[in-house]
Amino acid sequence: MKLILIFLSASLVNNFVFTYFLGICPFVGMSKRVETAISMGMATTFVMTLTGGITWLIETYILNYFGVPYLRYVAFIIVIASLVQFVEMYIRKTSPNLYKTLGIFLPLITTNCAVLGLALFAILRDYNFIESLAYGFGAGVGFTIAITIMAGIREELRFSDVPKAMQGPAITLMVAGLLALAFMGFSGFLTI
Amino acid sequence: MSDLIAPIVSMGAIGAVLALILVIADRKLRVKEDQRVEKILEILPGSNCGACGAPGCRQFAEQLVSGEQGPAGCMAGGPEVAKKIGSILGVEVKVGLPQKARVLCLGGNLESQPRAQYEGIRDCQAVTLQSGGDKSCVYGCLGYGNCARACPFDAIEMTDNGLPLVDDFLCTGCEICVAACPRQLMAMKTEETKILVGCSSLEKGKAVKQVCARGCIACKLCVKVCPQDAIVMDGNLPVIDDKKCDDCGICVEKCPTDSLVENLINQLRRTSEKKKAV
């Protein structure tokens, strides 16, 4: 039950993009077309789930063992970056088709702050290994939902008569803001 | 001093282990790729415009190496790129003249008055679907800029008069705009075309005159004045034989509605302040 709550909390109520405002860069950059947005979301979900697990292991068995929890940021960044590199190589070798859809997005995710944020939040909330995985998966699904909605709106936006002063980045940020407002409606549904 | 050891050892260990894993993975999992793909990729324009039929430049390069496509497949790169690709692949490439996008309509908002006020989606395709659009000439340029938005090289700009303006220095002849125009008003022309017919209306003279000040009224004056007999009428529009035409410019001078213009390749540069700054 707690796993489901964690999953729902991370994906909807405390959506990483709309309530924590993490991962805005890929959220704005990759949301021009629904197709690419979904691919990006899938790749991010994949990396986030793995990150949730592996950073928990690092935190518990290395940082706490050596008594150096203040090295969290550095250690997590290194681990996430090399993990993504490794996964990219592995997918490229084993499944060229999956690489074509996910591969080009993987290097972009290395520096996605939502991934680091996820690892830090999971530690902050004292999740165990399975819970960290669920939290990572939920956060990834939340990111996918956010970026797909955004891409759908932006595809329609192309045909609308936007005032000249608001065209481009301005209207994109406004739409993102309104979406965030909509997601605020979830706040208070679940408390973990 | 002992405070230093724990962090150095732990971080060093993490770093070393990860580095080792990556090194081993790189050795074991390396995918053998044809060297030529990378080389070709460097030459290609890299805008992933998709005019060749492949989803992107990388896929096009892969198709080239595997022989699915020919070096001339890259529309955007033109003859120069085709030649370089040919030298990498060891293939002889025959190249034509570079082609540039041309607009086959001269009737902007000043010349051709709108017959209705349009308030819908700002998209040429959508406009034509609304009972033929707001332009009084049903053959003319609608001016909602589908070509300009479609251009992957940002070479087309809509003028204040509501017509597309092509910058030849940016146009690569990829033909994306040709497909984007719902009225088929974009065409690719080379230097060989000296005179352009700037009207696409199939209507008779009187009907054209009512809707557009620069439309061809099919008066046949150009046919009569041409010293080379290079112009013939096809229906209500003149057709110029590029081989016979010697670019004397008499037809352009004599045309009563100015619907014939010189095809000035590589002389048109847009003047918009916004684009200049970039």
Burial (CB count <10 Å: 0-12, 13-18, 19+), residue B184? exposed
Closest-approach residue (CA) in chain A for B18: A82
Cα distance between residue A64 and residue A57, in whole Å: 10
> With an 8 Å Cβ cutoff, is A151 touching chain B?
no
Does residue A56 fall inside a structural domain? yes
pLDDT in tens, A6-59: 998 888 888 999 988 898 888 888 888 888 888 888 888 988 999 999 999 989
Answer with the residue of higher pLDDT: A32 or A147: A147
pLDDT in tens, A162-184: 888 988 889 999 999 999 999 88
Residues of chain B found within 8 Å of residue A86, distances taken between Cβ atoms: 21-22, 25
Strands B100-103 and B260-262: unpaired
Say yes or no for a CB contact (<8 Å) between B13 and A62: yes
Residue among A71, A157, A171 with most chain B CBs within 10 A, to mutate? A71
Q: In the predicted model, what is the mean pLDDT of residues A124-133?
A: 92
Q: Which helix (H) or strand (E) holds B233?
A: strand B231-234
Which residue reads 């993504």 in tokens?
A84
Does residue A43 fall inside a structural domain? yes
pLDDT for the residue numbered A108: 76
**Is the pLDDT assigned to residue A132 strictly greater than 90?**
yes
pLDDT in tens, A66-125: 888 888 888 898 888 888 888 888 877 877 777 776 666 777 787 788 899 999 999 998
Minimal Cβ distance to B11: which of A74, A90, A93 = A74
Taken in order B250, B252, B254, B255, the sign of the CA dihedral is: positive
Minimal Cβ distance to B22: which of A67, A74, A82 = A82
pLDDT for the residue numbered A175: 92
- The residue range of the domain holding A117 is 30-156
Minimal Cβ distance to A161: which of B9, B13, B122 = B122
Give A118-126 contacts, CB < 8 A, sequence gap 24+: A118/A16, A118/A48, A118/A51, A118/A52, A119/A51, A119/A52, A119/A55, A119/A76, A119/A80, A120/A72, A120/A73, A120/A76, A122/A52, A122/A55, A122/A56, A123/A55, A123/A56, A123/A59, A123/A72, A125/A192
Let me know: does B62 contact B130? Beta carbons within 8 Å: no
Smallest Cα distance from A62 to chain B, Å: 7
Q: In the predicted model, what is the mean pLDDT of residues A187-192?
A: 73
* CATH architecture assigned to B100-277: 2-Layer Sandwich (3.30)
The full set of domain ranges for chain B reads 35-89, 100-277
Residues of chain B found within 8 Å of residue A160, distances taken between Cβ atoms: 121
Closest-approach residue (CA) in chain B for A156: B121
pLDDT for the residue numbered B9: 86
> With an 8 Å Cβ cutoff, is A71 touching chain B?
yes
Does residue A104 fall inside a structural domain? yes
* Stretches in chain B below the pLDDT threshold 50: 270-278
DSSP B72: G
As for the ipTM of the complex, it is 0.72
Closest-approach residue (CA) in chain A for B124: A159
Does residue A22 fall inside a structural domain? no
Cα distance between residue A153 and residue A32, in whole Å: 9
Burial (CB count <10 Å: 0-12, 13-18, 19+), residue A44? buried
Does residue A120 fall inside a structural domain? yes
Cα distance between residue A151 and residue A147, in whole Å: 6
Smallest Cα distance from A81 to chain B, Å: 10
pLDDT for the residue numbered B228: 87
pLDDT for the residue numbered A191: 65
| Residue A138: band (very low, low, confident or very high) from pLDDT cuts 50, 70, 90 | very high
Q: Which helix (H) or strand (E) holds B26?
A: helix B2-29
As for how many domains chain A has, the answer is: 1
Q: Which two tokens stand for residue B212?
A: 């557009």
Minimal Cβ distance to B15: which of A58, A63, A78 = A78
Of the candidates A87, A88, A55, the one whose C-alpha atom is nearest the C-alpha of residue A73 is: A55
> With an 8 Å Cβ cutoff, is B130 touching chain A?
no
For the domain B35-89, what is the CATH code? Answer: 1.10.15.40
Burial (CB count <10 Å: 0-12, 13-18, 19+), residue A187? exposed
Closest-approach residue (CA) in chain B for A86: B22
Answer with the residue of higher pLDDT: A186 or B73: A186
Minimal Cβ distance to A89: which of B6, B9, B25 = B25
